[in-house]
Amino acid sequence: MNTNLKGRSALLATLILLAGNSFAQRYPSALSPEESMKKMSVADGFSVQLFASEPHVFDPVALEFDEQGNAYVVEMPDYPYEVEPGKGHGRIRILKDTNGDGKIDKSIIFAENVTEATSILPWKGGLIVTAAPNILYLKDNNGDGKSDSSEILFSGFFQNNSEAQVTSLRLGVDNWIYANNRGQSGKVVYSKTPGAAPLEVRGADFRFRLDRNVFELETGPGQFGQTIDDWGHRFFTENSIHLQQAIIPWRYTHRHAFMPGSKFNVSITDHEEIMFQEIPPAYWRAERSARRNKMYKEANLNRIEYAEDRFTGASGGTIYNGDALSKEFYGNVFTTDVSGSLIHRDILIPSETSPVLVAKRAGSEKSREFIYSTDTWFRPVTFSVGPDGYLYVLDYYRQHIETPVSIPDDLKAEMDFMAGSDMGRIYRVVPANTSYKGVSVNLRDASSEKLLEYLSHNNGWYRSNAQRLLLERQDKSIIPAVKVLVSKAQSSRARLHALYVLEGMDALDVAIIKQALQDSEPGVRENAIILAERFPKTLPLVIKMINDPSKRVALQAALSLGEFKGKSVFRSLAEVVKMHGQNEWFRSAVLSSDQGSSVEILNELAKDDSFFSKEEAWKLSFVQDLSNVIAARYDKAQFSSYLNLLSGAALAGTNIQTAALKGLKIGLNKNESTKELAAGLSTGSAEDVKAGFSLLKKN
């Protein structure tokens, strides 16, 4: 070999070695489960145990325990690449601990080649599975641990981005099953209602009931992570917003088509979207953010992209409702960030002035996260609470966790997006210095009377599964015992579960609802108001609830009043405005109903001489929104009456008139037939306002 060739070979070898070292520095290699656990820092008082790992589980994204305590895990190995329906490699496994040491040593493939499966929910001995574009029902009919029947329940969901597809099945205390849709477009059909028109799900999440064959839209949109508290309040996760609360359900905000607002959920954190990340950002992320920020600066845009210390991969928000951790953790929300390799904890605090809860950091976690790791492959995606009461953490364990379409070509050229697809871990969070305490459960074979006892259990897993089984069985013989539970159970949670067991068996009556409306627990009263909508005779009690000391209960009363009829409803909704109108959610609650967005509301408010004598900003806002709705609806008789009321001597020349005209202009612009009329309106001066009302009255 000549000298020059030797020299070139040596140089090439050196360059390859340097490139390899550089790549290793940019993207470290995987660790064994035991080595990875050493890289974790857990909050004081807790430790982490390994529950399952490869080869018994790969790429886990959901874990559920059925009524017999069987652990089902969903594996999603195809991410981040799209696959055709029926050609995916997704699996659902049953995990087995054959020797009782708390660690999985065997697994059975329950179902395979499941495309894009992301969440599961036990139902009637099988599993409901979100697998875009479908929701499936899989069942093992011969007891061999493998699914031998598959049914498409729903179809038509969006499926072009696995990070934004249907997911997060959750059974609420109200007997509805909720799921996230990320607001994606899709015309969904339900196999049990053939011939029904497809439902467009764009802009919403959804809920359904298989016992009633109903499917409807729900407030959202959430991404990968949804959780429901003991009282039925929904919370969901979005990649850069780690905790949101759905404040007003879709069924209220869409009673008419003219609501001035479109977003009825809100971030509830009091510490912004800041997280304490202990690993440096991945090379590609830091480089991409640097490029984007340079571009924003050159374009004089007031925008910054954060590569670290801010939630960008928030996922799997879950309320802990088990009994194995200390009581102070009950009701806390745990959220992951897959890019930051950490687990965040929030404490939910009721507000004295608002129906919105507040999410706060724990005092011991003001400058750190509940769990963080310096192993960059640690990708916690979600959680589960088992019959043993412990919190389980699912670690997707990948070198990279990002869709390639969002990464520049030169950066992703050196990235292996499938690195780690042969790995996966599930951990159990336990109190420190304690040994694992396993449980043996079999609710499937429990009597209905025994299931009623479980409605009082301290672990929410028992309560939820007992209620579900009672709903599935429809054993009407226990109705008398359930009614006793509603009135006499010491546990307020048991009283609520019992109330919905009756609902699920069509056994509610006026007496039961009236009793629940006077319950000592706000969460029971709130749900009783929802159920009271079916019983007109409860109206006097519902009206009283607008004075409830709990703002959440009072809000529900305002929402539910719109489902009743009669003059007392108008008066009561006007009272809601006077009592709670400073809060935007109460104003929306009133406006969401036909009664609350009518001329009569303004008429009732005008009867109170003191109401409009003090022109506060929130009152002007309410009048503007009310005017917006009435103009957009454009019922000519109603519109004329409204103009006459606004033109009266009491309101002439006031800021109320100006606010009203602004709202009327906005509303008229929403209707093609009235846009020309809106064009002639101006609110620049008092004379403009006066002329505007004259113009409207002429037309």
3-state secondary structure of 502: helix
Query: Is 385 or 676 the better-scoring residue by pLDDT?
Result: 385
**Can you say whether the dihedral through the CA atoms of 396, 143, 442, 130 is positive or negative?**
positive
Q: What is the pLDDT of residue 650?
A: 74
Q: What is the pLDDT of residue 680?
A: 86
The domain ranges of the chain are 38-255+262-431, 598-699
- Give the whole-number percent of the chain exceeding pLDDT 90: 82
Question: Does the pLDDT at position 26 exceed 90?
Answer: no
| Residue 317 token pair | 């928000």
Three-state SS string over 217-236 comes to EECCCCCCCEEECCCCCEEE
3-state secondary structure of 483: helix
- DSSP bridge pairs for 571: none
Least confident piece of the model among 263-267, 551-555, 606-610: 606-610
- The secondary structure element, H or E, covering residue 330 is none
Indicate the pTM of the whole model: 0.94
pLDDT bin (cut points 50, 70, 90) of residue 24 is low
Nearest to 392, CA basis, from 401, 402, 382: 382
> Distance between CA 244 and CA 267 in Å, rounded?
4
Residue 562 makes CB contacts below 8 A (sequence gap 6+) with: 252, 255, 569, 573, 589, 590, 592, 593, 594, 595, 596
For residues 180 and 201, the answer to whether their CB atoms sit within 8 Å is: no
| Residue 204 token pair | 């919403």
Question: Does the pLDDT at position 424 exceed 70?
Answer: yes
Nearest to 453, CA basis, from 418, 484, 407, 431: 484
> Distance between CA 373 and CA 41 in Å, rounded?
6
pLDDT bin (cut points 50, 70, 90) of residue 261 is confident
Read off the pLDDT of residues 288-321 as tens digits, 9 standing for 90 and up. Answer: 999 999 999 999 999 999 889 999 999 999 999 9
Q: What is the pLDDT of residue 688?
A: 85
Average pLDDT of the chain?
93
> Distance between CA 489 and CA 455 in Å, rounded?
10
pLDDT bin (cut points 50, 70, 90) of residue 687 is confident
Read off the pLDDT of residues 453-463 as tens digits, 9 standing for 90 and up. Answer: 999 999 999 99
- The secondary structure element, H or E, covering residue 645 is helix 636-646
> Distance between CA 491 and CA 625 in Å, rounded?
42
Q: What is the pLDDT of residue 626?
A: 97
Read off the pLDDT of residues 75-89 as tens digits, 9 standing for 90 and up. Answer: 999 999 888 777 788
For residues 366 and 46, the answer to whether their CB atoms sit within 8 Å is: no
Q: 408-417: long-range contacts at Cβ-Cβ below 8 A with a sequence spacing of 24 or more?
A: 408/288, 408/291, 411/283, 411/284, 411/287, 411/288, 412/284, 414/23, 414/26, 414/27, 415/27, 415/284, 417/80, 417/81
- The secondary structure element, H or E, covering residue 317 is strand 314-319
Q: What is the pLDDT of residue 352?
A: 85
Q: What is the pLDDT of residue 66?
A: 97
Homologous superfamily (CATH) of 38-255+262-431 is TolB, C-terminal domain (2.120.10.30)
Q: In degrees to the nearest 10, what's the CA dihedral of 234, 236, 241, 243?
A: 50
CA angle 356, 360, 366 (to 5 degrees): 165
For residues 418-446, average pLDDT: 95
Which one-letter DSSP state was computed for residue 269?
B
Question: In the block, which residue shows the tokens 């497809």?
Answer: 198
Query: Is 20 or 168 the better-scoring residue by pLDDT?
Result: 168
Q: What is the pLDDT of residue 18?
A: 44
Question: In the block, which residue shows the tokens 């329906």?
Answer: 85
Read off the pLDDT of residues 511-544 as tens digits, 9 standing for 90 and up. Answer: 999 999 999 999 999 999 999 999 999 999 999 9
Residue 563 makes CB contacts below 8 A (sequence gap 6+) with: 533, 593
pLDDT bin (cut points 50, 70, 90) of residue 17 is very low
> Distance between CA 592 and CA 265 in Å, rounded?
15
Read off the pLDDT of residues 458-511 as tens digits, 9 standing for 90 and up. Answer: 999 999 999 999 999 999 999 999 999 999 999 999 999 999 999 999 999 999
Nearest to 356, CA basis, from 616, 554, 574: 554
Q: What Cα–Cα distance (Å) separates residue 52 from each residue in 69, 102, 108, 579?
A: 15, 9, 13, 54
Q: What is the pLDDT of residue 691?
A: 87
Q: What Cα–Cα distance (Å) separates residue 75 from each residue in 37, 56, 417?
A: 21, 11, 16
Read off the pLDDT of residues 658-686 as tens digits, 9 standing for 90 and up. Answer: 999 999 999 999 988 899 888 888 888 88
Amino acid at 480: P
For residues 105-126, average pLDDT: 95
- Give the whole-number percent of the chain exceeding pLDDT 70: 96
Read off the pLDDT of residues 168-208 as tens digits, 9 standing for 90 and up. Answer: 999 999 999 999 999 999 999 999 999 999 999 999 999 99
Question: Does the pLDDT at position 2 exceed 60?
Answer: no
Residue 188 makes CB contacts below 8 A (sequence gap 6+) with: 154, 155, 156, 157, 198, 199, 200, 201, 206, 215
Question: Does the pLDDT at position 5 exceed 50?
Answer: no
Q: What is the pLDDT of residue 22?
A: 52
Q: What is the pLDDT of residue 96?
A: 96
Read off the pLDDT of residues 339-360 as tens digits, 9 standing for 90 and up. Answer: 999 999 999 999 888 999 999 9
Least confident piece of the model among 18-32, 59-73, 138-152, 559-573: 18-32
For residues 382 and 35, the answer to whether their CB atoms sit within 8 Å is: no
For residues 391-415, average pLDDT: 93
Q: What is the pLDDT of residue 12?
A: 41
Question: In the block, which residue shows the tokens 């020349």?
Answer: 653
